Amino acid sequence: MSDEKIKIKFPDGDIVEYPKGITALEIVEGISKKLAKKTIAAKLNDKVIDLFRPIEEDGSIVFLTFDDNEGKQVFWHSASHILAQAVKRLYPQAKLAIGPAIENGFYYDFDDLNISEQDLEKIENEMKKIIKENQKFTRKVISKEQALDLFKNEPYKLELINDLDDKVISIYSNGDFVDLCRGPHVVSTGVIKAVKLTKLAGAYWRGDSNNKMLTRIYGIAFPSEEQLKQYLHFIEEAQKRDHRKLGKQLRLFSLHEEGPGFPFWLPRGMVIFNTLIDFWREEHRKAGYVEIKTPIMLNKALWVRSGHWDNYRENMYLTKVDNEEFAIKPMNCPGGMLVYKEEVHSYKELPLRVGEIGLVHRHELSGVLSGLFRVRAFHQDDAHIFMRPDQIKDEILGVLQLADKFYSIFGLDYHLELSTRPEKSIGTDEQWEQATTALEQALKATGRDYKVNEGDGAFYGPKIDIHIKDAIGRTWQCGTIQLDMSLPERFDLTYMGEDGENKHRPVMIHRVIYGSLERFIGILIEHFAGKFPLWLAPEQVRVIPVSNNFNDYAEEVYKKLFDLGFRVEKDFRDETVSKKIRDAQLMKVNYIIVVGEKEKSTNTVNVRDGRENKVLGQLNLDDFIASMKKEIEEKRL
Catalytic residues: 333, 362, 380, 382, 384, 463, 510
Establish how many alpha carbons lie within 13 A of residue 144's alpha carbon, considering only the half-sphere containing its beta carbon: 9
Which residues does residue 615 pair with via DSSP β-bridges, in sequence order?
Answer: 608
**Nearest to residue 403, comparing CAs of 447, 468, 326?**
468
Q: What is the DSSP string of 499-536?
A: TS-TTBPPEEEEEESSSBHHHHHHHHHHHTTT---TTT
How many other C-beta atoms are found inside a 10 Å radius of the C-beta of residue 331? 18
How many other C-beta atoms are found inside a 10 Å radius of the C-beta of residue 164? 12
Report the distance separating Cα 29 and Cα 318, nearest Å: 60
- Helices and strands (H, E) in the chain, number of each type: 20, 31
| N-to-C CA span, the chain | 63
Q: Which amino acid is at 24?
A: A
| Alpha-carbon radius of gyration of the chain | 30
Report the distance separating Cα 304 and Cα 15, nearest Å: 53
Which residues does residue 512 pair with via DSSP β-bridges, in sequence order?
Answer: 480
CB 18 within 8 A of CB 8: yes
Strand 463-469: give its sheet, edge to edge.
Answer: 290-291, 352-361, 377-387, 507-512, 475-484, 463-469, 413-419, 450-453
**Nearest to residue 284, comparing CAs of 174, 403, 388, 180?**
403
Report the distance separating Cα 373 and Cα 362, nearest Å: 13
Q: Is 326 helix (H, G, I), strand (E, B) or coil?
A: strand
Establish how many alpha carbons lie within 13 A of residue 251's alpha carbon, considering only the half-sphere containing its beta carbon: 10
Report the distance separating Cα 88 and Cα 343, nearest Å: 71
Report the distance separating Cα 566 and Cα 14, nearest Å: 65
Establish how many alpha carbons lie within 13 A of residue 87's alpha carbon, considering only the half-sphere containing its beta carbon: 27
Instruction: Let me know if 211 is exposed, middle or buried by CB neighbors in 10 A (0-12, 13-18, 19+).
Output: exposed
Q: Is 269 helix (H, G, I), strand (E, B) or coil?
A: helix
Instruction: Report the relative pairing of strands 39-44 and 59-65 from DSSP bridges.
Output: antiparallel
Report the distance separating Cα 26 and Cα 52, nearest Å: 8
Report the distance separating Cα 142 and Cα 172, nearest Å: 11
How many other C-beta atoms are found inside a 10 Å radius of the C-beta of residue 425? 18
The DSSP 8-state label assigned to residue 458 in this structure reads B
CB 386 within 8 A of CB 350: yes
How many other C-beta atoms are found inside a 10 Å radius of the C-beta of residue 114? 10
The DSSP 8-state label assigned to residue 579 in this structure reads H
Report the distance separating Cα 479 and Cα 476, nearest Å: 9
